[in-house]
Amino acid sequence: MQIETLLKLYDRDIVKLREEVEKYEGDEDLWKKQGDVPNSGGNLALHLCGNLRHFVGAILGNSGYVRDRDAEFASRDVPRAEIISAVEETREVVASTLTKLTADDLAKTYPLEALGYPMTTEYFLVHLAMHLGYHLGQINYHRRSLS
């Protein structure tokens, strides 16, 4: 897979993440829970940012980011502006990291067995893109279900 393709897909969906967060009627709506779904749109947005900043930025890009996964799901009432800032930082770190990768880098084994088994960096980057899309759909549904 070409780096250019990964860059376009990640950028498209991270921009969409920002748009979804912006479309919530009020900051408080980001934190509402629906039925037995345990995660709010705000928590899912923080989770996506933490996930990408860790697995792409810190592991592949040596950004120094330290993830607090528990806080991604435990945080409440984080202002929308702060979430949008995290989304923009995520967009920047993903783009800057991916642009430095080569085809040889994609073929190498990803440094962590994040899924419990060895895989190429390319495979894991595709997995992360699908994870982003999955939760992006959940955020979209959450937002629309509040209307």
pLDDT per position as a tens digit, 103-113: 999 999 999 99
CA distances from 12 to 5, 9, 76, 91, 126 (A): 11, 5, 27, 10, 14
CA distances from 83 to 30, 44, 46, 76, 87 (A): 10, 11, 7, 11, 6
pLDDT of residue 123: 98
What average pLDDT is seen over the chain? 96
Domains of the chain: 3-145 (1.20.120.450)
CA distance 86 to 23: 16
pLDDT of residue 23: 98
Write the pLDDT tens digit of every residue in 71-93. Answer: 999 999 999 999 999 999 999 99
Give SS3 for 83: helix
pLDDT above 90 for 94: yes
Q: Give the model's confidence band at 37: pLDDT under 50 very low, under 70 low, under 90 confident, else very high.
A: confident
Find tokens 């990291």 and name the residue. Answer: 97
Angle among Cα 85, 87, 90 to the nearest 5 degrees reads 110
pLDDT of residue 1: 61
- What does pTM read for this prediction? 0.96
